[in-house]
Homo-oligomer: A and B are copies of this chain.
Amino acid sequence: MATLEDLGVSAFINIVGAFIFLLLFAVLRIQPINDRVYFPKLYIAKKRTHDHRGARRAINLNLCTYFKFLSWVPGALRMNQTELIHHAGLDSVVYLRIYTLGLKIFLPIMVVALLVLIPVNVSGGTLLNLKKDVVFSDIDKLSISNVSPGSNRFFIHLLMAYVFTFWTCFMLYKEYSNVAFMRLHFLASQKRCADQFTVIVRNIPRVSSHTTSETVEEFFRRNHPDHFLGQQAVYNANRYAKLVKRKERLQNWLDYYQLKFERHPDKRPTGRTGCFGFCGGEVDQIDYYRARISELDKRMASERQKVLNDPKAIMPVSFVTFDSRWGAAVCAQTQQSKNPTQWLTDWAPEPRDVYWENLAIPFFSLSIRRFLISIAVFALVFFYMIPIAFVQSLANLEGIEKVAPFVRPIIEVKVVKSFLQGFLPGLALKLFLYILPSVLMIMSKVEGYVSLSSLERRTASKYYYFMLVNVFLGSIIAGTAFEQLYSFFHDPPSEIPRTIGVAVPMKATFFMTYIMVDGWAGIANEILRVKPLVIYHLKNMFIVKTERDRERAMDPRNIQLGENLPSLQLYFLLGLVYAVITPILLPFIIVFYAFAFLVYRHQIINVYNQEYESAAAFWPQVHSRIIASLLISHVTLFGLLSTMKAAYSTPLLIFLPLLTIWFHKYCKSRFEPAFRKYPLEEAMEKDRMEHASEPSLNLKTYLANAYLHPIFHMFEQEEQKEETTLEVRIDKSQQQQQQQHHVRSSHTQYEERNTETHYYHEERSSSQYQYQYQHEETHMRSEQSPPHFVYHHEIQP
């Protein structure tokens, strides 16, 4: 067990680490050359332009600016909430509220706990007399373990458990109510956008004599005759997307060699073609890549024709639009078909939020996928524990020494010992956790969720289970198991609960170390952005030629909810579990919340660019995880007290989890529908207001291509090269004329419509994106290349 001294070493290392990171950040951020690494969001929001950067030198020589190394802090606090919602979206703002919620919950708890519990624990000093075999540290003298078993002092701990739970619930209720209000207000004040009118329909049954589009058309005309407006079929363009990716790769190489040639015009770059450039004939690289690209272009053209003309390329999914929010709300919330596995309707996610790859998974396959993935997650969560447990055991050097006395000479070197105990376990754990989110995200994708926001939420939920079992339980039980190895095998099994109960407070130092490594140093690392910094400069060196390329080289990233939510939830868990048991842990958590709040507020203002806006859809998850933490803290305390012979006070604890569960159920029914459904009252109100203010609005035109697959822009581009763009006006009479006419039989028509296809990408950076009917070529190439293609077959000129 780590002593206070080890903890001091760890704190020192981490604080110095954090300080170095901050210092580096202070130096790097004021270099104009790094401007696009540290302020990409401002570029995207057009609050900073290349002129601004170009006017200065690459290196900042103004010495004054170097001394203000914390100057970013006031900047992080400068926007108020409304501005921040406008700047970065509601998701980001509500995400920040999790940190403030942490502060609101734990600051008062910490004050009370330090004032009341620490004196109670310190004056109870009996741990030394009671258990001689179990190794423990000075920290334990401040914890509940120090109170003598059977003492009446446990009533104070019990009272505190009640007070802390009620306070937490009170804050949770206030926050849930706030966030729900913010969400409703946000949705109500949102400008018109396509997802308000659109429903995603999955599992459309195949009718032999009809095309999918005809089936959809017929079904909704029959069952929603008053409100159905139109539909957008989804095309399967997996192969085309692959070709696009390959072309992009070739284009990058071509750019690279052209740049090389420009720098050394005397020597045309050459190379071998086969086996990674080691064999094959010598060729001129520029000519070679040009030839391959033009060959690829031909294949892409033929593939494009295939996607558009092959009836099998249409998938049994469709985006169905309605003429009012009311109609869409009704369709999204009701069951359509007698067979509940067909015609599944749901709110369409925002166009930016759609995960196109998963649209076509049939119901039965979905059901199997979710089952298999849940087994896989279970296995991952529980078998990952083996390496973690091994690393954890290193934290208990005394335990190792007992079992393997021969390593004592090495470990006993003071610096090695402190380093091992203070730094290693947290770091090793963090490394383990580094690759995990990507694995979990892939799993979520396999599960078949159709929006990026739900994928992130699912990932967060998997990651939370992982953290709970491996970081929290794993650290407590496995670590203890190793320590108490000897006792375990020789005492009767009835002693086990007692030993575990004692182990929870003993693990406090480990978690303090963990908070310092993961929370303090980790957050400082977040603000430094080492990886994006390196990658940006590498790209800048080899690929970037134009201003647009530089824009593409920026990597603003986003909040990474899938990874950050569970970490945050772990801190809530630690705080709530140790609030009564070892309150000295709370200041560490408070420091984390305050520091992380500043850092993330800075990053949200200057760096992150959210890809979608889910209007705080993740809050119910945050809420229920904190409730789960409360319950775990009750169970832990119950287990601990029952080993402390606190026979009078322990039974009184039973009501606490019951009340918490009731509170959770009440909150769930009171607030959760605001996050899952769209009330008709609201829909009707907005419809009416809109109708009053814009009676002549042509919704059909407005919605025509809202759910256009990004790959469609590739098609556009290709077509543009080949033909002259025709300006097309759509009016309703023409539409109606041609409604029955199917585009796929007459491919040439669709090329005329590239004027209305790009509107939603224009405001990708703003949370309340508005649609503009302008055609900006700049964003064309910045699109990624997913494998499907959406095409609206109704709006034809």
Contacts and interface: CB of A to CB of B under 8 A. Distances in A.
Interface of A: 184, 219, 222-224, 226, 326, 329-330, 333-338, 340-341, 343, 363-364, 367-368, 370-371, 375, 492-494, 658, 661-662, 665-666, 669-674, 677-682, 684
A491 to B, nearest CB: 11
A662 B372 CA distance: 9
A330 B223 CA distance: 11
A492 to B, nearest CB: 6
B340 A673 contact: yes
A494 B491 CA distance: 12
Given A343-B681, A364-B666, 13 more contacts: A222-B681, A223-B681, A224-B680, A330-B330, A335-B679, A336-B679, A338-B674, A338-B682, A340-B670, A363-B669, A367-B666, A367-B669, A370-B665
A692 to B, nearest CB: 14
5 closest residue pairs by CB, A with B: A340-B673, A371-B662, A335-B677, A333-B334, A335-B679
A368 B661 CA distance: 11
Nearest to A677: B335
A684 B343 CA distance: 15
A561 to B, nearest CB: 24
B337 A329 contact: no
A682 to B, nearest CB: 6
Contacts of A670: 340-341
Contact of A494 (B222, B368, B493, B669): B493
Contacts of A334: 329-330, 333-334, 677, 679-680
A341 B682 contact: no
A684 B223 contact: yes
Contact of A341 (B370, B658, B669, B681): B669
Nearest to A682: B338
Contact of A336 (B493, B661, B680): B680
13 contacts: A219-B681, A223-B680, A330-B334, A335-B678, A337-B679, A337-B681, A338-B679, A338-B681, A340-B670, A340-B674, A367-B665, A375-B658, A493-B493
Nearest to A672: B340
A662 B378 CA distance: 14
Contacts of A364: 666
| A340, A671, A672, A674 — most chain B CB neighbours (10 Å) | A340
A541 to B, nearest CB: 52
Contacts of A340: 669-674, 677, 679
A673 B340 CA distance: 6
Contacts of A678: 335
Contacts of A224: 680
Contacts of A684: 222-223
A671 B363 CA distance: 13
Contacts of A680: 223-224, 334-336
Contacts of A493: 492-494
Contact of A338 (B184, B336, B665, B672): B184
A180 to B, nearest CB: 9
Contacts of A492: 492-493
Contacts of A222: 681, 684
Contacts of A330: 330, 334
Contacts of A223: 326, 680-681, 684
A665 B367 CA distance: 8
A323 B644 CA distance: 67
A673 B335 CA distance: 8
A677 B222 CA distance: 19
A669 B370 CA distance: 13
A363, A492, A679 — which one has the most chain B CB atoms within 10 A of its CB?
A679
A468 B530 CA distance: 59
Contacts of A336: 679-681
Nearest to A181: B338
Contacts of A363: 669
